[in-house]
Amino acid sequence: MYKVLLVDYDSTSSMEMLQHMPEWNGIGFELDAYANSSADAIEFLDRNYFSLILVGMNGSHHDALFLCDYIRRKSRVPLVLIGGSNDFQLARKALYYQVNDYLPDPVSSVELTSCLLTVKGELDCVNDKNKALLWTPVENDAQLQPNIIERVKEYVDESLHQNITLKQISNSLHFNCSYLGQKFKYQENMTFNEYLLQQRMEKAKLLLENTDMKVYEIANEIGYSEMDWFYKKFKAYTGVSANEYRKMFSIIA
Q: State pLDDT tens for residues 28-38.
A: 888 888 888 88
Q: Where are the alpha helices (DSSP H) in 146-214?
A: 148-158, 166-173, 177-188, 192-210
Among 194, 189, 221, which Cα is nearest to 205's?
Answer: 221
Identify whether the C-beta of residue 30 lies closer than 8 Å to the C-beta of residue 3.
Answer: yes
Mean of the pLDDT values across residues 56-61? 76
What whole-number distance in Å separates Cα of residue 187 and Cα of residue 59? 28
The pLDDT, as a whole number, for residue 206 is 94
Q: Is the pLDDT of residue 133 over 50?
A: no
**Nearest partner of 34 among 62, 70, 4, judged by Cα:** 4
**Residue 132 identity:** A
Confidence of residue 45 (pLDDT cuts 50, 70, 90): confident
Question: What's the mean pLDDT in 6-27?
Answer: 70
Check pLDDT > 60 for residue 139.
no
Whether residue 211 contacts residue 225, with contact meaning beta carbons closer than 8 Å, is answered with no
pLDDT confidence of residue 127: 45
Q: Cβ-count burial of 214 within 10 angstroms (0-12 exposed, 13-18 middle, 19+ buried)?
A: exposed
Amino acid at 184: F
148-184 burial, b at 16+ Cβ within 10 Å, e below that, comes to bbeebbeebeeeeeeebebeebbeeebbbbbbbbbbb
% of the chain exceeding 70 in pLDDT: 83
Between residues 157 and 22, which one has the greater pLDDT?
157
What pLDDT does residue 242 have? 94
What value does the mean pLDDT take over residues 62-73?
Answer: 83
**Residue 146 reports pLDDT greater than 50:** no
Taking residues 145-171, what's their average pLDDT? 84
Whether the CB-CB separation of 28 and 119 falls below 8 Å is answered with no
Q: Which of 14-18, 208-212, 245-249 has the highest mean pLDDT?
A: 208-212
Q: Is pLDDT of 11 > 90?
A: no
Residue 32 DSSP SS3: strand
CA–chain centroid gap for 179, Å, is: 6
Residues in Cβ contact with 139 at an 8 Å cutoff, skipping those fewer than 6 apart: none
